[in-house]
Chains A and B, each alone.
Chain A
C-alpha cells in the first residue's frame, strides 16, 4: 500500500537535545512538507521541498533543519534553538496539489 509513514508516533526528549523526526513516502511524490500544529490551532509550515536536494523555509523555520537526499525521505531535525518545540508534527507530500499526510509525531520536550 502506498502512503506516508512517520515515526515514532510519540517522542519525549529533554530540553536542549536535538531530535530528528522521520518521514518516508512511497507515493513517488516530488514535493514534501513539514507542518507544526499546536493545540486548537491550524497547521503552520516549517519547511517544504519540491525536489531532491532542494528545500524552502516556511513561516516558522527557525530552530528547525531538514534534508532531502532521497525522493522518499524528508527528515526534520528539531534543534535546541527551537524555543517551544512541544507540538504535533505532520509530514505531507503531494504530486498534483492534493496533500497526503502521515499520521504525525507528537513531540514532548520535558
Chain B
C-alpha cells in the first residue's frame, strides 16, 4: 500500500460544479496534513492546511477523518481558474518526513 494515495482523476467539471477529492494515508500516527495546488510546469503552492475540526477558506473546505485515515478537499462553485493539479501532503511521522500523493488533475470547463 502506498503511503499516500489520491483519487486518480482526471476530473472534468463544468463551471459552477462542486467537486471533491479524497486522499488516504497509511500511518495512523500522522498529525499534519495539507492540500497543495500545482499549475502546469510550476512549483506546488500551499492551498490550505487540514485541521482536525475541518476548515473552510471561501469556496474550499478541507476535512480530516482519522478513523478512516483520509483527508478530503471540497471545491464549491468551481471557476475556470481552479483548473490545476491538487496534491495532498502528509507529515508521515511528524518529523518533517513530508510525503505527497500522486495528485488529482481538475479541469473546469465553460
Contacts and interface: CB of A to CB of B under 8 A. Distances in A.
Interface of A: 31, 33, 35, 41-45, 48, 50, 56, 88, 90, 92, 94, 97-104
Interface residues of B, number: 23
Interface stretch (B52-60, B70-78, B100-108): B100-108
Contact of A45 (B6, B32, B99): B99
Given A42-B103, A97-B32, A98-B34, A103 B43 contact: yes
* Prevailing SS type, chain B contact patch: strand
B44 A43 contact: yes
A35 B100 CA distance: 10
Nearest to B6: A42
B98 A45 contact: yes
B45 interface: yes
B26 interface: no
A45 B92 CA distance: 12
A42 B45 CA distance: 14
Interface in B47-96: 49, 87, 89, 91, 95-96
Contacts of B45: 101
Given A35-B100, A94-B96, A99-B36, 5 more contacts: A45-B97, A98-B34, A99-B34, A102-B43, A104-B42
Nearest to A44: B100
Contacts of B89: 99
A42 B87 contact: yes
B95 A43 contact: no
Nearest to A99: B98
Contact of A99 (B41, B46, B103): B46
Contacts of B42: 103-104
25 contacts: A41-B103, A42-B6, A42-B87, A42-B103, A43-B87, A43-B100, A45-B97, A45-B98, A45-B99, A45-B100, A48-B97, A50-B96, A56-B97, A90-B43, A94-B96, A97-B32, A98-B49, A99-B34, A99-B98, A101-B43, A101-B45, A102-B43, A103-B43, A104-B42, A104-B43
